[in-house]
Chain A
Amino acid sequence: MAGEPFSITVGELARRGRTDIPDHFVPACHLIYSSPATISYNSPGALGFGVKRAALVIPESVMLLVSPDGCARNSTVLSSEEGYADRLFYLLMSESDLVTGNHLSKIPEAIEEILSVCDPAPKVVVVCITCVDALMGTDLERVCRAAQERCGVLVVPSYMYALEREGRRPPMSAIRTTIYSLLERLEVEPTTVNLMGFFTPLEPTSELFSLLAAAGVRRVNQVSAARTLDEYRAMGAANFNLVLDPESRAAAEDLRVRLGMPYVELARLYDPERIHHQYHLFFRGVGLRFDDAPYLEQARLACRRFAERHAGTTFAVGEMCNANPFELSAFLVSLGMEVRAVYSNVTADQYPLLERLAAVSPQTRVYAGISPTMVGYAEGVHVDASIGKDAGVYCPDSVNVAWNGENQPFGYQGVIDLLAELSRALEGGAA
């Protein structure tokens, strides 16, 4: 049925530069192939944290999804598997609703019915609308204000507009703004910091907590760790926000403008020397004490041991993991590993990390999971190990470490944990 899948060396990608990215990597330029490995990319809500599950990170909340039947289908499976089925409600649209907009007038009554069956009653109802309302120009904020007045519960608007995925406010960026939209500025506590970026907590063993504590930070808030709405609201007292995922930048900027909360960005990296450099810049920049030497040394030791035992191991790295695939690949190459393939979408933002990989391993091939040519992919890449759920599908004869657990790895401890998991997998233990 199909010819060869498109791929290109990372060296060639770097040479072409960010203004000449091949069409295969640009979703707007071709039909999108929903390869089994890339389902989560193609459908933002399809696997793991899509808009729906993400919004429910607001404590004591439920969601009312107002949409055609098709938009809600994945929730049937995911909400059952991930345990939030009791917090998700659906108001399905009919074709006449498309013409009359009648579905919007049903929202207050629907919320009342939901409140009547929930025990305990939620304090927040997140109303989510989808592409059809984007096209109809629905003013959901007005609808939610009216519903809030009638129902006596906080009603928050949210948007799952897949049509705007490459726009200025992609759904996963917009939902992060929604999540923090209920915060109000409280009296500032100088020793309190919010971590923004992930929908599940940072791995508690990450040295970031210890470094912040040693610098005098007494309280670190994460929305995913808040059990009550009051705990969530306490985030409004933070001195500043620490943004750990670039998709939270818009939310942090919204809090800066709206509440005067400053923010600083830290990237999730795997190269210990770069982690050290980033910590150095951050702590010096905000004027806090800082000594990461013991943690850096532990990470270096883990790297040396891994390199000694596994030098020359061949890898494939995907994008469905808790890492940037290009940064992670460059790190693996620095340890003496060979990265034969990267399966990832390529955007201009990724070029600094992509160029780093190109500098040390220009022959690494990059596959565009969303390219229609991937329908002809026939497990042609043979490697010892793969990282990421998608890479595991593309390289079925490899040892796979999915590295996409719920708790988010970060910093030196993230490196140590990843190498330990890779070692276990390569040496025959459970991955």
Chain B
Amino acid sequence: MRGLYRYLSPFSPDQSGAVSVLYELDGLIVVLDAGGCAGNVCGFDEPRWLHTKSAVFSAGLRDMDAILGRDDRLLGKLGDAIEATSPAFVALVGTPVPAVIATDYQALCHTVERRFGLPAVYVPTTGMDFYERGELKAYEAVVSLIDRGRRDLGNAANTPAAALVAHLSYEEGETEGGVPDVGVWGATPLSLPAPDSARAIRARLAARGLSSVTYGMGGGLRGFLHAYGTRRLLAVSPAGHAIARKIAATNGAELETGFAFGDEPDGDFSTSLDSLASELPLGGRVLVVHQQVLADEIRTGLERRVDGPVDVASFFRMERELMRPEDVFLKGESEFIEVVRSRGYRAIVADRLYGRALRHTSVRVLAPLPHFALSGEVYAPATEADFLRGMAEVIEV
């Protein structure tokens, strides 16, 4: 049955994806919920919560707020929180409750800007999609905020967005930050292998003589000033690919995908794939399940080391141009089991939690590939090196 999960458990929802993009941007992030959604985001989907402060709040909606649409109370609460936190902007993040009562986000944002003089954006998430949809919506919201600010600034319009862009540009000028060579999109804890991955990507690019900005982790709001300025874009997740594609279509930047792990013989990635390949059943068909960009990178490396075909499957958004004919977008748990059974995969490279759904299939070995959007902290590696090493420690299903 579509929607029924008997073995797997729910993935990170879209509101978590939205917060993961907004987390380090110095905004006041208000999850429009009763408390549970924000608690889930902060407690289970945001590994930075325990060590990096961010003004993520729940709107604390109650039944009568929803029934009577008491936006005035929400605005009053926002005013107090703005006073307490001095944010650069306000971001409203949707959940199932505003989805049901059809909250007019745009009107709320207009009112916030008028009343408090701060730029406001909204991310129309519903809690019913998976995280990558929320990431994309949040990227779009922030990019368009900066766009709007530039436009207003150009028109000499005195708006909160223009003031924000002017302030960010002034700061950028003070630090003499130039336009980075590469803009890395999709770099959030929910899509990356490990907490240090964004730093590792920047380091690998630096080793090639390229400066970079990572949007999601380690970038900051100022980095978005260069969203359209960087001439090279690197997408490390499908949501990153979708937003980068839009930017490239506008400014003609060169778009690549992948993690730039490199395939040097003595590198972590290469060593792990060598070990993994030696553990897989000979000649068998292999399935890699993760977010598409990472899965594709592992597939490409593995193909050089095994005889049989290696396919990619994902429960999350898949970009058509990155898909091969045998790759599968999974619409649910039943389809996952059916695909594995019908194609006779004997080995799977995936998060260990998927193992529960594989008990009655032909799969014999599972190479662990933790995905925070599925198993959260349960199997989360401390470092990217741990992530890569762990891949070779196959387990029997």
Interface on A for B, CB 8 Å cutoff? 1-3, 27-34, 36, 39, 42-47, 68-77, 79-81, 85, 88-95, 98, 103, 106, 109-110, 113-114, 117, 130-132, 134-136, 160-167, 372-373, 375-376
Contact = CB atoms under 8 A, between A and B. Distances in A.
A33 B1 contact: no
Contact of B40 (A31, A70, A375): A70
Nearest to A31: B57
A127 to B, nearest CB: 13
Interface stretch (B74-82, B292-300, B321-329, B381-389): B74-82
B38 A43 contact: yes
Given A73-B40, A372-B80, A1 B10 contact: no
22 contacts: A1-B53, A3-B84, A34-B39, A36-B42, A36-B49, A46-B44, A69-B130, A70-B13, A70-B15, A73-B11, A85-B356, A91-B4, A98-B96, A103-B3, A106-B1, A113-B6, A130-B96, A136-B100, A162-B33, A163-B63, A372-B80, A375-B55
Contacts, number: 232
Nearest to A102: B3
B4 A28 contact: no
B9 A69 contact: no
Interface of B: 1, 3-7, 9-16, 26, 30, 33-45, 49-50, 53, 55-63, 66-67, 77-78, 80-81, 84-87, 95-97, 99-101, 126-130, 353, 356, 374-378
Contacts of A376: 84-85
B96 A131 contact: yes
B40 A85 contact: no
Contacts of A160: 36
A117 B60 CA distance: 38
A375 B40 CA distance: 18
Given A135-B100, A163-B62, A89 B6 contact: yes
B4 A90 contact: yes
B35 A32 contact: yes
A160 B80 CA distance: 29
B44 A77 contact: yes
B35 to A, nearest CB: 5
Contacts of B376: 76-77
B37 to A, nearest CB: 5
A92 B378 contact: no
Contacts of B37: 70-71
State the 6 A-B residue pairs at the shortest beta-carbon distance, nearest first. A43-B39, A70-B127, A70-B13, A162-B34, A31-B57, A76-B9
B58 A164 contact: no
B29 to A, nearest CB: 10
B372 to A, nearest CB: 10
Contact of B96 (A29, A68, A89): A68
A134 B97 CA distance: 10
Given A68-B127, A76-B374, A89-B4, A95 B45 contact: no
A397 B378 CA distance: 27
B350 to A, nearest CB: 15
Please classify the interface of chain A as helix (H, G, I), strand (E, B), loop, or mixed, using the class held by over half of its residues. Answer: helix
Given A72-B10, A76-B374, A114-B6, A31 B126 contact: no
Contacts of A76: 9-10, 44, 353, 374-376, 378
Nearest to B61: A163
B81 A372 contact: yes
Nearest to B85: A2
Contacts of B57: 31-34, 372
Contacts of A162: 33-36
A3 B35 CA distance: 24
A163 B10 contact: no
A70 to B, nearest CB: 4
Contact of B78 (A31, A94, A110, A163): A31
B15 A74 contact: no
Nearest to B31: A34
Nearest to B95: A70
Given A31-B57, A76-B374, 4 more contacts: A2-B55, A29-B77, A45-B39, A94-B3
Contacts of A2: 55, 84-86
Best-surrounded residue of A70, A81, A132, A161 (most CB of chain B within 10 A): A70
A73 B55 CA distance: 21
Given A28-B62, A73-B12, A42 B353 contact: no
Contact of B9 (A70, A90, A131, A373): A90
B10 A92 contact: yes
B30 A31 contact: yes
A70 B129 CA distance: 8
Given A2-B85, A163-B62, A80 B36 contact: no
A165 B99 contact: no
Contacts of B84: 2-3, 372-373, 375-376
A32 B38 contact: yes
B43 A167 contact: no
A76 to B, nearest CB: 4
A187 to B, nearest CB: 40
Nearest to B10: A72
